[in-house]
Homo-oligomer: A and B are copies of this chain.
Amino acid sequence: MANLAFYTTPSIEINETKIFGTTDTAAHFAKVFGDNASLQRSLSALQRGPVRFYRDNVIAFDDDVADYLLFVVAGVVRSCKVCKSGTRSVVSFYLPGEFLGWVDAKLSLSIEAATDAEVLFIKRKGLASLASRDARVANVLLRATTNELARAQEHVLLMNKSAKCRAATFLTDLWVRLGKAQYLDVPMSHQDIADYLGVTIETLSRSITDLERSGLIARVACQRRLLLQNHFGLRRAMN
C-alpha cells in the first residue's frame, strides 16, 4: 500500500505525454466498455491517472493492487518474478487496452513498465459494485479474465516447444496483437522476451538469426524493426 501514495499523485505529469505518444484513454476505454456516456462517467469517477512510468520502473507489487485494478493506456507493462537464485521470469506482457492485476498477492509478482508506459488505476471495489449493477461491465470483466487465462494457458503450452518455435510464436503473436502492421516494431528488450520465453538472450538471439537465415523474417534498417516475410513458413515453424 505504501507505494500507492506515489501512484495516486495527480496530474502534473499528464501534460508531458508527448514523449509517450498519444494518450487516448477515452478511446481505449470506449473500445473495451462500449461508447456509453453515463458508463464512461461512472468509470472515470473510479479511476486515478493515467500515471506515467519510465521504462523499467516498478508500477506495483501485486500486494499493492489488492485495491486497484490496472489498465494500460500506452506502452507495454510486464509482470514478472525474480526468484532467489536471481533468475527472472516474465509472466505476461500487457498492451494498451488490457487490464491487469486480477490475481491476489499469492505469487508476489512485480508489475513493471517494459517501455515508457501510462497506466490507469481503477478502484476494484467500485468496479465490482458497478459490475453488479451493469451486466455489460460484469461481462467485460469476466471476458478480460478469461482472455488472460487463455493467454496464460497458451504460454504454458509454448514452454514445451523448442526455442526456435517459441521465438516464431512470440513474434507472430505480437504482430497480431499489435494490429498486423506492415512492420513489427518490437517494443520490449530481448532480455524481456527471453525471460518471457524461458530461454537465455543468447538462445533467443540465435533463434531469431535462425529464422532470418531461413527467410521467415528480415531485420529492417531501424532497430528492433522486423518484417515477417513468410507467414506460411512461420506458421510451420510455430509447429
The distance from the CB of A193 to the nearest CB of chain B, in whole angstroms, is: 14
Is A223 part of the binding interface, using a Cβ–Cβ cutoff of 8 Å?
no
Range of interface residues on A (Cβ < 8 Å): 35 or more
Q: Which of A60-95 contact B (CB under 8 A)?
A: 81, 83-85, 87, 89, 91-92
Pick from B84, B107, B132: contact of A150, CB under 8 Å: B107
Q: A91-B153, A156-B159 in contact; A146/B145 too (CB < 8 A)?
A: yes
Asked if A188 is at the interface (CB within 8 A of a chain B CB), the reply is no
A92 to B152, CA, bound (A): 11
**CB pair B198 A160 closer than 8 Å:** yes
The answer on a CB contact under 8 Å between A103 and B153 is yes
In the complex the two chains form, is B145's CB within 8 Å of A149's CB? yes
Q: With a CB–CB cut-off of 8 A, which chain B residues contact A154?
A: 107
Q: Which of A86-110 contact B (CB under 8 A)?
A: 87, 89, 91-92, 102-104, 106-107, 109
Q: Once the chains are docked, how many angstroms separate the CA of A84 from the CA of B146?
A: 26
Residue A189 lies at the interface, judged by CB distance under 8 Å to chain B: no
A81 vs B155: C-alpha distance in the bound complex, in angstroms? 13
In the A-B complex, the 6 residue pairs with the closest CB atoms: A152-B152, A159-B159, A132-B135, A145-B145, A103-B150, A102-B146
Q: Identify the A interface with B (CB < 8 A).
A: 81, 83-85, 87, 89, 91-92, 102-104, 106-107, 109, 128, 131-132, 135, 138-139, 141-142, 145-146, 148-150, 152-157, 159-160, 198, 239
**Interface pairs (7), CB distance under 8 Å:** A85-B239, A91-B153, A91-B157, A107-B154, A145-B149, A149-B149, A159-B198
